[in-house]
Amino acid sequence: MTPTLIWIVVGLVAVGLYLSWTAGRLDRLHARIDAARAALDAQLLRRASVAQELATSGVLDPAASIVLYEAAHAARQAVEEQREVAESELTQALRAVFADAQQVDAVREAPGGEEAALELAEAVRRVPMARRFHNDAVRAARALRLHRKVRWFRLAGHAPFPMAFEMDDEPPAALIERAA
């Protein structure tokens, strides 16, 4: 009887350790999501700030300045539920303003335009990478949270189900080509 009881206790301890390890892994994935979301928010804010600064600098024509400024302002002021839409609209405004290489060249030739164009190109290049890191972390956490053991033992606790950040993040080709 004693050897059977020992094996039962060993089995329960092994299952407990495995569940504890899984819960720790899930917690680390949630922390990774939080860090990736903070990095994404920083990159989106940087992109909107640089676009807004460029729109008010006077190096763009008035129509392009207004379009870019309004889209950047809306992206900076958007509430969380509307953030993806506002950021996509900023991306579309950037593509519309910098649709051709002549506009990029005009910005670069203006006083201070070279630095502004390089800074904007760098900002729009970093957004897709930050979004990819965030969405990869979300995908990994979702995959783990869908396992039966996580659901049955409620290893996720009260953490909300992670949501991916979906937006149009295709940078303007003319801006990227000319800044490189």
Residue 159 carries which DSSP code? P
Q: How crowded is residue 173: how many other Cβ atoms within 10 Å of its Cβ? A: 14
Both tokens assigned to 163: 């949501």
User: What pLDDT does residue 58 have?
Assistant: 87
One-letter amino acid for residue 59 of the chain = V
Specify the 3-state DSSP secondary structure of 160: coil
Both tokens assigned to 10: 């060993």
Out of 46-50, 95-99, 108-112, 174-178, pick the least confident: 174-178
User: What pLDDT does residue 180 have?
Assistant: 60
Res. 139: pLDDT tops 90: yes
Nearest Cα residue to 171 out of 133, 120, 136, 135? 120
**Which pLDDT tens digit goes with each residue over 55-81?**
998 888 899 999 999 999 999 999 999
The pLDDT mean for the chain works out to 93
- Average of pLDDT values for 153-172? 93
Contact 165, 134 (CB under 8 A): yes
